[in-house]
Structure 1
Amino acid sequence: MREQSTPALAGPATGGLADTVYDTAELTPALELFSRRTEGSQQWRPVSAARFRDEVLGLAKGLLAHGLRFGDRVAVMSRTRYEWTLFDYALWSIGAIPVPVYPTAAAEQVRWILAETGAVACVVEHEDHAMTIGAVCDALPELTGIWQLDQGCVHNLTTAGAQVPESLVHRQRHAVTPETVATVIYTSGTTGRPKGCLLTHGNFAAESDNVLAGWERAFTPPGGEQAAALLFLPLAHVYGRMVQVAAVRGGIRLGHVSELRADALLPALTSYRPTSMHAVPYVFERLYDSARMAAETEGRGELFAQAAETAISWATATERRSLGHGPGPGPRLRMRHLAYEKLVYQRIRAAFGGRLRHVMCGGSALSRELGLFFSGAGMTVYEGYGLTETTAAITANPVAAPKFGTVGRPVPGARVAIGADGEIWVQGPGVFAGYLNHPRCTAESLRDGWLATGDLGGLDEDGYLSVTGRKKELIITSSGKNLAPAALEERVRAHPLVSQCLVVGDNRPYIAALITLDPRALTHWQLTTRRPPTDVWAALDDPDLHAEVQRAVAAANTAVSRAESIRAFRLLPSEFTVEQGLLTPSLKLRRQAIAEYYAADVEALYLG
C-alpha cells in the first residue's frame, strides 16, 4: 500500500466552534467579519465582530427560550445566506446540532432526514419550504417548531429570548468539546440512500485551521488588507460549511450569494471584489464558456483562442519550473503572454472583481486544461479532493507547486494511501466520527483510523493524488473489460456543446454514452454557423450537430483503448436535473436513476 502524508501545521482544537465568535469580538470588536446586502442590491454593508457576536447571542437566547437544549438537532432548509451562518453559530453556542437540508429536497427526502435525526425544529427560508415540511410533519412527532426566515423568525426569536440570562448560553457553550457533534450532513446518495455523517467541532476546527495555515499565501492579499471571500456554495454541502468556519476562524470577511447562476454570481463578484474564492468546476466551466462565446460574438474568437493557448502554455511552463522540471516560460512566450494580458486576461479577472488571484476548487473533477487556462490568466486554481466524511478537503494542490490535473497532496495533518485494488484510503483529524444510526456502515468504512473512500486513484512520483472514479461505478462489459467512466465522461464534456455525459455498458458488448447539450452553447453554435436558432428538440435532427458531437467523442476516445472507447452515443432532448432525481443536489450524476429513466434510449444504443 503506497502512502503519502503531510505534517500538521495547526495544534489540537479546544472548545467549540462558537468560541471563535466570542473571542474575536472581545479582541477585535471592530473587525469586519461579514458583508451583507439586501436582495437585488449590489451595495454591501459591514457586520463587525461585535455586532455578529451580539446577534448570535441574542438568537441563542431565543432558542433557549423556545426550549432547545444541549444536543438537540435542528434542521436548516435554505439557500446560502447570512441567516444560515447566524443560526449555525447560535445553535453551536448552546451545544445544539444543525442538520442541513438542501432547499431542493423532495418531501420524502426531508421526511427521511428529519425522522432519522429526530429533529425537534426546522428553519426554512420561505413558504414553499414550510409547505414541504408541513406535508410530512404528521410523521415527525418530535418536531415542535418551524421557523421561517422571510417571516422574521430571527427577530421574533431574539425578542422572545430577551429575558434569558446570557450566562445560560455561556454555560452550555463551555460544555462543548472538540468531540461534540457539530452537525449531521447527509451524503449525496449517488449510489443509494444518503447517510448522515457525524462531524464534530474538532473535525471542522482541524480542517479549517490546517487549510488556513497551509494556504496562508493564497488567502492573504498583498499590502496587508483584509482577506475577503464570497460564499456561494450550498451551505447544505460540507464544502460550503467548511468555508464558512474557516472564514470566521481566519478573520476573512465573508459575503453570501444565494444563487449559483452566472447572471446572479457575476454582478456579486464585481461588486464584492473577493481576494480569494472557493468554487466547484461548474463555475469555471460556465464562466470560461461565457467569456469564449462573448469573444466570438464580438468577432474576437480567434484572439480569444490564441490567448487561451498562450495561457495554457505559460501555466504549463510555470508548473514545470515549480516542480523542478524546466526553466519556466521562455522569452517568446513571455512576450505573447504580456500582449494578451491587457487584451484578454485583465478582462477575465475583472469579471471576478479584479482582486482575485487564488481559487480553491473541489466537489468534482476540473479538467487540466481549464486549470491551466485560469492560472495562465492570472488566477491560480488549487484543485483538491475530499468527501463529506473528511469534512471537505483531504488533499489539495500546494501553493508553491500546483500540479494541474491532479487533486494535490494531503492537507496538513492528513495521510493518503492506495490499496492493492486502487482504492483511496485516508486518515486525518478531519475524518468523521461515523454514520448516524448505521454502525455496520461505519465499521465497514472506518478501520484502525483509516477511511475507505470508495474512490479509485493513484499517487504519482511526487506524491500527488489523481482520482480515476468510484469503485461502485466501475463498468464491466460482457467481454470482461473494466472501465471507470468518470475520466471518459469528463473528456466528452470538454466540448463546448456538451453539458452532461453518462457512459453506459455494464454487461453490454461495448461502451456507449447518453449525452445532453448545453442550450446556451447550442444557440451560440447555431448563430455562428448561420443556422436559425431552435430548441434542443428541433436541433437533434441536424446531421452537422451530430458530426460536431461525434468529434468530441472521437477526441475523448484517443485517450483510451478501443475496448474502452465509446462506440455509440445518443443525444437527449433535455439536461439531467436535480428535480427529476437524476442529479444529486451537488450536481453529481445519479447513474442508476438516469439509466432507468432513459432505459429505452440505452436499449436503442445496442440494437442492430
Structure 2
Amino acid sequence: MEQFSILLLQELNLQAERDPDRLALQGMAGQLTYGELMSEVSALATALTTLAEPASIALAMDNSPAWIVLDLAVLAAGWTNVPIPAFFSASQKQHAIQDAGVSLLLTDASDAWLQLYPASELLDSWTVAGKTVTMMRLNQQDRASGAQKITYTSGTTGAPKGVCLTAQNMWQVADSIRRLTQPDHADRHFCVLPLATLLENVAGVYASLISGATVIVYPCQEVGFSGSQFEISRLYQGLANSQATTAILIPELLRALVAYLHAGHPPLTHLRFVAVGGAKVAALLIQQAHQLGLPVYEGYGLSECASVVTLNTPQAHKPGSIGMPLPHVQLRVDHGGELWVKGAIYQGYHQAGGDIAPVLDEEGYLATGDLAYQDADGYWYLSGRKKNMFITSFGRNVSPEWVESTLIHQAGLLQACVIGEARPFNVAVVVAQPQFSVERVAQAVARANLELPDYAQIGDLVFARQPFTPQNGQLTANGRLKRDMIVQAYAADIHAIYEGI
C-alpha cells in the first residue's frame, strides 16, 4: 500500500496491512474493511490532486462512512479540510467558506449549495462508501494553508472562529485517548455527534480507527437529530441495535438518555465507555447514569487544543471532576484561578487578512478562559468561565457556573442561570421537573443555599417558561447557557424582583 508521511495515516495503513478484512466503517449505505478504506483514501487523494492544485476544501455532508473517507483523503492529499457543520446557518456557512479561503467543496447535497453559490461549477462526482459525492468549484483562486484542518466553532455570539490545527495536533489527542481508554478490535464506536465537530472527529473516529476498532456512523436523523428537535428514542435504538461499546455525548443528550432509561427501557449493557463533554456535567447526573448501568465519564476540552484536554476513566474517576490531563497535556492555574494548558496547541485563528497567532506565555502555555482548581488526588475541577464572573454590590466575586452546578445537583432542578452583577443578592432563572411544585423547588434551592456562602446564595427565583434549548436560542449546540439571551427573555421578571427591594 501507499506509504503516508502523516502519523495518523501511517497507523491506519498498518491496521490495513495487519488485517485488511477487519471491518473499519459501518453505515446505512454500506461498509468498508480496513483494506478497502485505505484503498479508497489513496484513490480519492490521487483524484483530488489531479483535479486541482493544493487548496482549502470544505467538507459539507451528513454523517456517513463517506465523510470519514473524504476527511482522510483530503489529509492524504496534503490539502486543508474545512468541515462545515450542518447546524450552521446559511450566513455562518458562507462566513466559514470566505474566511478560510475555500475554493472547492465536497458535498452530498449539491442542489442546496448551488442555491448559496449559483455560479459554482460541478467538477466531478464519485461513489464513496455507497454515497454519491460531488466536488464543486466555488471560486477560481485555490489557496493553500499551513493547517491540515480549520474547524469553525459557533460560540455564543458573532461569526464562527476558524481554529487552525495540524495533523500532529490531532494525532496527539487521538493517541492519548487510545492510551487512556484502550479500545481494541472488539470495540464498536457509535458516532452520535456530527462528524464536523472536532470531538467526534478526533476523539471518536480517529482514536477508534488507529486502535483497529469498528466505527458505526449513521445519518444524523437516524441518531435522533431531526431538524430542530431531538428524538431520544432514535439514539437509544441506534446504540442498542448497533451493539455499540463506546460513544461520545453532550450533557443534554446524557440527561435525555438517563430519563429514557429511568422510564423503564432496558439497559445498554454492551456499552463500556461513554465520554461526555462540551459543557459542565452535574455530578448527580453522572451518578444517576452509573446507577442505570451507563458507564459515563466526564471530560473537558478546547478546539484550540484539538478537542480533549482532560478525561475521567474507569481506572481514575471522580464524579464532578473533569478528570486528569491526557498524557500529552500539562496544566496549571495562575494567581487568579485561570486554567492554562500546554499540549497540542493550535496554530492560530484563521482570518482572510492573516492568521491570528495564539497568545502563549514564556513556557508555551495557553490561557483557557476557564476557572479551575486541582484537588489533592490530582483531579481537576471547573469553577466557571472567567468572562462570566460577576461582582455583587457588596464587592464579592461570584462564578455563576459554580452556583448553577450546586443548584442542579438538587433533585428536581434541571437547569439554572444565575444573575447578580452589581446586585445585593443573586437571582436564578430555573427549569424544574414538570411535577415539581413551587414549594418543592423552593425547598431544593434552600438546600443548595446551605452548601453556598452567603454572597453566592440565591435570594429569589424566576421560573422559566420553557427549558433552555438551542432551538429557543438559550443554549449552544453543545449545551452551554446563552446567558444574554436568557436574561433578555426574562428581563421583566428579573427587573420586577430587584425593583421590589
The answer to whether residue 217 in structure 2 is matched with residue 256 in structure 1 is: yes
Contact 1:77–1:122 (CA under 8 A) maintained in structure 2: yes
**1:151, distance to aligned residue in structure 2 (A):** 12
Among residues 103, 112, 116, which one is paired with 2:99 in the alignment? 116
- For 1:287 and 1:499, locate their aligned partners in 2 and report how far apart those are by CA, in whole Å: 14
- For residue 283 of structure 1, the aligned residue among 253, 278, 284 is 253
Paired residues of 1:247 and 1:254 also in contact (CA < 8 A): yes
**What is the SS of the residue equivalent to 1:435?**
strand
Say whether residues 1:47 and 2:32 are aligned partners.
yes
Q: Give the distance between the partners of 1:504 and 1:291, measured in 2 at CA.
A: 33
**Cα pair distance change 1:75/1:558, threshold 3 Å:** farther
Q: Structure 1: which amino acid aligns with 2:478?
A: S
Alignment-derived partner of residue 150 in structure 2: 184
Q: Percent identity, aligned pairs only?
A: 26
2:478 aligned counterpart, secondary structure: coil
Match of 1:396 in 2: 311
Contact 1:126/1:149, CA 8 A, preserved across alignment: no
State which of 173, 176, 201 in structure 2 corresponds to 1:241: 201
Whose RCO is larger (CA < 8 A, sep 6+)?
1
Q: 1:125, 1:150 within 8 Å by CA — same for their partners in 2? A: no
- 1:440 and 1:81 map into 2 onto residues whose CA distance is 32
How far apart are 1:30 and its partner, in Å? 0.4
Query: Comparing both structures, which one devotes a greater share of its residues to helix?
Result: 1
1:549 and 2:465 matched: no
Alignment of 1:201-240 (within 5 A): 201-216=167-182, 219-220=183-184, 226-240=186-200
Alignment of 1:479-498 (within 5 A): 479-494=394-409, 498=413
Tell me the SS of whatever aligns to 1:351: coil
Backbone CA RMSD of aligned residues: 3.3
Contact 2:173–2:306 (CA<8 Å) still a contact in 1? yes
- Number of the residue aligned with 1:595: 487
Deviating 4+ runs (over 6 angstroms): 146-153
In 2 relative to 1, CA 548–121 (structure 1 residues): closer, same or farther, beyond 3 Å?
Answer: farther
Is the radius of gyration larger for structure 1 or structure 2?
1
**Between structures 1 and 2, the one with greater strand share:** 2
Provide Cα deviations, 1:176-203, integer angstroms capped at 9, x if missing partner.
Answer: 9xx9522111234236543211111001
Match of 2:148, SS state, is strand
What is aligned with 1:453? 368
Alignment check: 8 A CA contact 1:492 1:498 kept = yes
State the Cα deviation string for residues 138-182 of structure 1 (Å, max 9, x = none). Answer: 8xx9x7569999999954659x9xxxxxxxxxxxxxxx9xx9522
How many Å separate the matches in 1 of 2:233 and 2:123?
A: 32
Q: Which one-letter code corresponds to 1:36 in the other structure?
A: G
Q: Deviations over 1:46-104 (max 9, x none)?
A: 42112222333343344345x3432x222233443322212211211211222122212
What letter is aligned with 2:391? I
Contact in 2 for aligned 1:63/1:157 (Cα 8 Å): no
Partner residue in 2 for 1:323 = none
Counterpart code for 1:413: H
User: Following the alignment from structure 1 to structure 2, what is the Cα–Cα distance between the partners of residues 192 and 559?
Assistant: 36
User: Gaps spanning 5+ residues in structure 2: where?
Assistant: 137-143, 225-230
Which residue number corresponds to residue 173 of structure 1? none
Which of 387, 403, 425 matches 1:472?
A: 387
Aligned letter for 2:177?
Answer: V
Q: Is the 8 A contact 2:192 2:247 kept in 1?
A: no
Alpha-carbon separation, structure 2, partners of 1:570 and 1:151: 52
Q: Does the Cα contact within 8 Å between 1:479 and 1:509 map onto a contact in 2?
A: yes
1:514 corresponds in structure 2 to: 429
The equivalent residue for 1:130 is 112
Once the two structures are superposed, residues 474-522 of structure 1 have per-residue CA deviations (whole angstroms, 9 ceiling, x without a partner) of: 12122222111113223333456544322112222321122345xxx53
- Report deviation, 1:33: 0.6
Find the counterpart in structure 2 of residue 409 from structure 1.
324
2:41 maps to 1:15: no
Unaligned runs of 5+ in 1: 1-12, 39-44, 161-175, 296-346, 526-543
SS of the equivalent of 1:453 reads: strand
1:355 partnered with 2:270: yes
Q: Contact between 1:124 and 1:130, CA under 8 Å: does it hold in 2?
A: no
Cα 1:500–1:192 change in 2 (3 A) is farther
Cα displacement (A) at 1:406: 0.9
Aligned positions, number: 479
TM-score scaled by structure 1?
0.71
Say which SS state the counterpart of residue 233 (structure 1) adopts: coil
Map residues 517-532 of structure 1 onto 2, 5 A cutoff: 522=434, 525=435
| CA-to-aligned-CA distance 1:433-472 (integer Å, 9 cap, x gap) | 2221397963435653211111001011121111110100
Gap change, CA 1:68 and 1:449, over 3 Å in 2? farther
Q: Which residue of 2 aligns with 1:94?
A: 77
- Structure 2-normalised TM-score? 0.85
**How far 1:239 moved relative to its partner?**
0.7
CA distance in 2, matches of 1:156, 1:265: 26
Asked if structure 2 preserves the Cα contact closer than 8 Å seen for 1:199 and 1:391, the reply is yes
Contact 2:108 2:133 in 1 (8 A): no
Contact in 2 for aligned 1:359/1:382 (Cα 8 Å): yes
